[in-house]
Structure 1
């Protein structure tokens, strides 16, 4: 006989796993109709909660886990900085759990984390925040979590995100205003929410300005210097060389600088370059990099705050909070020169 779990109850009730969890935990502000469906499904399925596991978590450990996968070093520094600051402010410790979602044993590691989980909740960073297999594991085992930058925003669980789409749209529009039409684009890690949103913002800005999208001007990177270098070399050695390259993060933009120097292309006279994130490395590049500033540490702080509100039965005014990005215009861009 198939084991009855929280997922089974959600399926019978026709509601989300999060709704079942809220009813089981006697959370406030549960829709009465949903509560009735869940209670009926609990009777129908004969579901019995694992009181031992629930009891262990009920005794607060005052520790949260930050789960992330192979991000750029500068991103994870800001992520940890923000999460640690909010944890310290609220009397919590932070357990760091780095992993690599590309590894064959990735899900095994996450399953092991869930199996032995004794902390109060998890802050899930991208791209794991978009992985249904991981999120379902947390839901099924009644582990509180909050997500940073998920691609699919709508959820009954708290999440924070940056308007990557709008920022990329605005940056591309700015480059077009300088007269550039052949705008090369280096995408971030495949499957990463920020990668999808930034690329879509770039494409939509071109469409809005009636500039035909050219697939040959796009390369698939991976938010790393090495992938940025490979992509930049392909773009700058092609017959359809771009007049500007928009890299999806600052590390890949720095790699464009390297390739441009090797090919004796002057920035910005022969090639304009822009990045995304406004990481500390932008201060060491010359000319200074035009980029987009996103509040990574602030997002992490807010994610921790919302998670603790959820754990401690305090209501979150908004379940999803968006942060604006800011264009930082420096010396790596100039008007188009034929």
Structure 2
């Protein structure tokens, strides 16, 4: 059976081949009625435009790329935990690219490797993406940003540490979110609150620490340096950190972890120390990932709007909003609200 061609669609819709091409390439200045007629004809015939042919027909590749951190992503997959962060980024972006006739590619970037310049340069040369979504730490990596600017490739930065200067960004207020969670614990009556930081290569890690410190200081509470322990967004790092916190002579009555996975590590350490949650120890997380609802007890956490953020970033790239602004123009800055989700892992301390 012969494959359906653009000529067949044009004949069925009674329009020119050029009109069909403009509709399939999602170009502007096509009347809504005409666009609908062409799409109905394409659907009825089962026509799917060939990506290579579309690319050759113009300067676009119809590819949106997402750059993600190789080391943390591979660590999660090797441990068979998967990456909810990446899955939610992909969900928002995939829905938008599919609707617009684009393809989404996820590329792992080794930011700590010696060949990051060569690897990213080769990716851009091979893929020629119409746009790139930069997740942390790509969104703050000077080499990555330099190469994108040099290639003239539009990009949107998700959750960057540095707001100024380099292209549009879509983000949430991590400082305010961590401050609100810490205020929640203080409001329950906790005065000794432990904090487990995230990977220091990520701007969000420092921002969440800042929010915790700001809330403690505003609440008139002393911060013992021993209450702040390093983590790297993994279960294992938080398990070690929480065990150290629970081994203190004056242990915290609450632990706030910078991610839900790390909150699970804190829960495990508490169970091993024969402490109940939230009876003996309150535990709070960050992300509102599926594990926060499946854990026992269910986690109090911050809902990070990753799907909404990646959806908006993809729209900005496809609609051309993210193209390099004119000299002197301020890059677009979109702030997406977070939500504190109060579940049963936090309660007032005993006594």
Question: Normalised by the shorter chain, which TM-score bucket?
Answer: 0.7 to 0.9
Residue 102 (structure 1) aligned to one of 97, 101, 112: 112
* Contact 2:132 2:154 (C-alpha < 8 Å) held by counterparts: yes
Please give the TM-score of this superposition, normalised by the length of structure 2.
Answer: 0.76
Encode CA deviations 1:267-287: one digit per residue, 9 max, x unaligned: 011100000010001122111
SS in 2 for 1:210: coil
Please give the TM-score of this superposition, normalised by the length of structure 1.
Answer: 0.79
Structure 1 residue 133, shift from structure 2 partner: 1.8
Which ranges in structure 1 are unaligned for 5 or more consecutive residues?
Answer: 1-54
Residues 57 and 102 from structure 1, CA distance in 2 versus in 1: closer, same or farther, beyond 3 angstroms? farther
Residue 220 (structure 2) aligned to one of 210, 215, 219: 210
* Counterpart-to-counterpart distance in 1, 2:323 and 2:347: 52
Higher radius of gyration, 1 or 2: 2
Corresponding residue number in structure 1 for 2:284: 274
Residues 313 and 125 from structure 1, CA distance in 2 versus in 1: closer, same or farther, beyond 3 angstroms? closer
**Mapped pair 1:124 → 2:137:** no
Corresponding residue number in structure 2 for 1:28: none
Structure 1 residue 83, shift from structure 2 partner: 0.8
* Counterpart-to-counterpart distance in 2, 1:100 and 1:314: 25
Corresponding residue number in structure 2 for 1:329: 342
**Mapped pair 1:166 → 2:176:** yes
Encode CA deviations 1:30-53: one digit per residue, 9 max, x unaligned: xxxxxxxxxxxxxxxxxxxxxxxx
Structure 1 residue 300, shift from structure 2 partner: 0.3
Structure 1 residue 58, shift from structure 2 partner: 6.1
* Counterpart-to-counterpart distance in 1, 2:312 and 2:142: 22
SS in 2 for 1:306: helix
SS in 1 for 2:299: coil
Corresponding residue number in structure 2 for 1:137: 147
Corresponding residue number in structure 2 for 1:293: 303
* Counterpart-to-counterpart distance in 2, 1:289 and 1:93: 35
SS in 2 for 1:154: coil
**Mapped pair 1:310 → 2:320:** yes
* Counterpart-to-counterpart distance in 2, 1:278 and 1:300: 16
Residues 266 and 312 from structure 1, CA distance in 2 versus in 1: closer, same or farther, beyond 3 angstroms? closer
Which ranges in structure 2 are unaligned for 5 or more consecutive residues?
Answer: 1-54, 77-82
Corresponding residue number in structure 2 for 1:63: 63
Corresponding residue number in structure 2 for 1:186: 196
How many residues are paired up? 284
**Mapped pair 1:200 → 2:213:** no
Residue 244 (structure 1) aligned to one of 234, 251, 254: 254
Corresponding residue number in structure 2 for 1:283: 293
Encode CA deviations 1:148-168: one digit per residue, 9 max, x unaligned: 001112336221001111111
* Counterpart-to-counterpart distance in 1, 2:274 and 2:258: 23
* Contact 1:83 1:304 (C-alpha < 8 Å) held by counterparts: yes
Superposition RMSD in Å:
2.4
